[in-house]
Chain A
Amino acid sequence: MNTTAHSYRTGLKRALIETRNTLTSPSDLMGMLLPMLICVAVLYFLRGVDIEGAPISLGAMNMPSLIGMNIVFGGIVTMVSALVMDRVSGTLLRAKSMPGGMTGYLIGHLGSTAMFLSFTTLVLLVVGLPLFDGLEFATPDRWLLFLAVLAIGLVAVLPLGAVLGSLINDLKNMSLVIFPVIASVAVSGIFYKITALPEWLQWIGQALPMYWMGLGMRQALLPDSMAAVEIGGEWRTLTMFAVLALWAVISMALAPRLLRRMSRRESGSAVAARRQLVQQQWG
């Protein structure tokens, strides 16, 4: 039996079971969906706000951006918190104690996070489409682009989350990752157009994956004429895929080494020490 192929297969099974476990845990499900649905509700009140010279409302324009943001934000935060929490609970050490366990664990988490994010993306799409006038999702070219952006987004963001998660050894340092991700929303043109920002902030935004995920989703869902609002007055489809692919390549190059380092440091006493720290910090 090929042991590598076997541990990948086991990982995929793990992904399916993890996804089922999450989808049947109301707290997990609501923790992920509720913030997004609140955002949708806010956008709903903006459906009457017109944008100068545009055929659609501010709410409709922000809906695709929100879907893009959900993939980046959800992908990074879910991976980081899984890796950090699983080191406190010993889930990672358990994986280390089994043959092929670390491979199975990682494939399982990447897979289940991808499935869970696809599920929440679908929920946002199904909720958003009927709520906002002007979204276009009737033709196969739009479906394909939507799926392609979702796919490249997952491939870029999940390894990035794994990299960041492997660097954080302590629950209380999780904010070091979460806050920058939240801050990146502000410079990524999610809730207002990026061209309203000073140019240097636009450059920061364009270096990060969130801007491009928002752009890709807007192209997939908004009328073509809305490209006029974007930087350069066009969708920049190729650049969008190229930047996201670059993020994917960099993260995937870094991830194995960092994850191995993280795994090497796991032991029973490391887990016990971490748990004690958590108890001190949170009473």
Chain B
Amino acid sequence: MGHPPFNGPAIAVSDLRMRYGDKDVLTGLDLEIEPGGVTALLGPNGAGKTTTIEILEGFRARSGGDVSVLGVDPVHGGEDWRARLGVVLQEWRDNGKWRVRDLLRHFAEYYRPYAEPWGADELLDLVGLAEQGGQRVQTLSGGQRRRLDVALGIIGKPELLFLDEPTTGFDPHARREFHELIHRLTDLDGTTILLTTHDLDEAEKLAERILILAGGRIIADGSPDQLARAAATVAEVSWTQDGRRQVHSTEDATDFARKLLATDDGAVSDLEIHRASLEEAYLTLVEQFETGQAEAAVDTFKEATK
């Protein structure tokens, strides 16, 4: 038993718009995600990541645009569609009085008409909670709780798993353990994972593809390598000449340096060529975004990753 195979993109969104009152949060978002693999939706806080993912999860009605998740418009998604999704939210404190194993065993029941769910004990092993099975949920630590949330998210063997800011508030150790868990999940069976994060480092570690969301739309799209190379095309050349420090930005640093040195008569010293990393480009974006220069930020970043 299992879900019927589905051909076509796991997620297809075109011209998605969302407006709260007179504030535009999403202004024409386009994206398409093929089945399988991990995609990260990366963006500064307030960029609209949670809004986007809630629309995809069917938890929020959109203002405009077309959305298809596993071939179904989330607004009309029925229980059978719901059974093919897994959802892990930022912070969940539900069912605190339940014992961990009871909760897994009971929640598996809901999926039984649609798919063969995970057994409670194999799932506890998978997420590393084998020893906590008899504990009440409210006694789990933050990291354990989130791993339980992942277990509950995948319990029905979903085709598509949403993870919304999964490691917010984690210490580095819990974070690394959580990342290892996500890697284990991707080895399983072609589940498509879409995660949101505001942390570039996390996106680079987990995702094969990164979509950067800012200003209400996707402004960059590619593998971590592609984005890094794109961000690094603009280089800063700096040198000292006549006792003054000079700086010049260029896309062809080698050519610029060759010409500079060919005509300087030995006056240039301390020549440095510095390529912007993806991290710097992203941090600049976030900084500009937070100081209210959203449009400028988007333009700069587009320039850098074009």
**Residues on A close to B: CB < 8 A?**
1, 3, 6-7, 10, 13-14, 17, 21-22, 25, 28, 86, 89-94, 96-101, 104, 266-269, 271-272, 275
**Residues on B close to A: CB < 8 A?**
50-51, 54, 57, 59-60, 79-80, 82-83, 85, 87, 89-98, 102, 106-107, 109-114, 152, 156, 164
* Structural contact, A96 and B59, CB atoms closer than 8 A: yes
- A-B contacts, 22 of them at CB < 8 A, read A3-B79, A3-B113, A6-B112, A6-B113, A13-B106, A22-B97, A25-B97, A89-B93, A89-B95, A90-B92, A91-B94, A91-B95, A93-B94, A94-B152, A98-B107, A98-B156, A99-B111, A101-B82, A104-B110, A268-B59, A272-B90, A275-B91
Within 8 Å by CB of A13, from B96, B97, B109, B114, lies B109
Chain A: CB-nearest residue to B82? A99
Within 8 Å by CB of A90, from B94, B97, B114, lies B94
* Structural contact, A268 and B89, CB atoms closer than 8 A: yes
* Structural contact, A86 and B94, CB atoms closer than 8 A: yes
User: Contacts A98-B82, A99-B79, A268-B54 known; A1 to B113 CB distance under 8 Å?
Assistant: yes
* Structural contact, B93 and A90, CB atoms closer than 8 A: yes
B95 surroundings in chain A (CB, below 8 A)? 89, 91, 94
A90 surroundings in chain B (CB, below 8 A)? 89, 91-94
Shortest CB-to-CB span from A12 to chain B, Å, is 11
Shortest CB-to-CB span from B69 to chain A, Å, is 14
Whole-angstrom distance between the alpha carbons of A17 and B110 in the complex? 15
Whole-angstrom distance between the alpha carbons of A6 and B50 in the complex? 32
Whole-angstrom distance between the alpha carbons of A6 and B79 in the complex? 12
Shortest CB-to-CB span from B166 to chain A, Å, is 12
Chain A: CB-nearest residue to B91? A272
* Structural contact, B79 and A17, CB atoms closer than 8 A: no
A90-B93, A267-B59 known; 11 new pairs, CB 8 Å cut-off, are A6-B112, A6-B113, A28-B97, A93-B59, A94-B92, A97-B82, A98-B82, A99-B110, A99-B111, A268-B54, A272-B91
A269 surroundings in chain B (CB, below 8 A)? 50-51, 54
Within 8 Å by CB of B94, from A1, A7, A21, A94, lies A94
* Structural contact, B110 and A10, CB atoms closer than 8 A: yes
B106 surroundings in chain A (CB, below 8 A)? 10, 13-14, 17
A21 surroundings in chain B (CB, below 8 A)? 97-98
Shortest CB-to-CB span from A22 to chain B, Å, is 8
Whole-angstrom distance between the alpha carbons of A96 and B92 in the complex? 13
Whole-angstrom distance between the alpha carbons of A3 and B109 in the complex? 11
Chain B: CB-nearest residue to A2? B113
* Structural contact, B112 and A1, CB atoms closer than 8 A: yes
User: Contacts A10-B110, A269-B50 known; A17 to B59 CB distance under 8 Å?
Assistant: no
Whole-angstrom distance between the alpha carbons of A189 and B113 in the complex? 50
* Structural contact, B93 and A100, CB atoms closer than 8 A: no
B85 surroundings in chain A (CB, below 8 A)? 97
Chain B: CB-nearest residue to A108? B106
A86 surroundings in chain B (CB, below 8 A)? 94
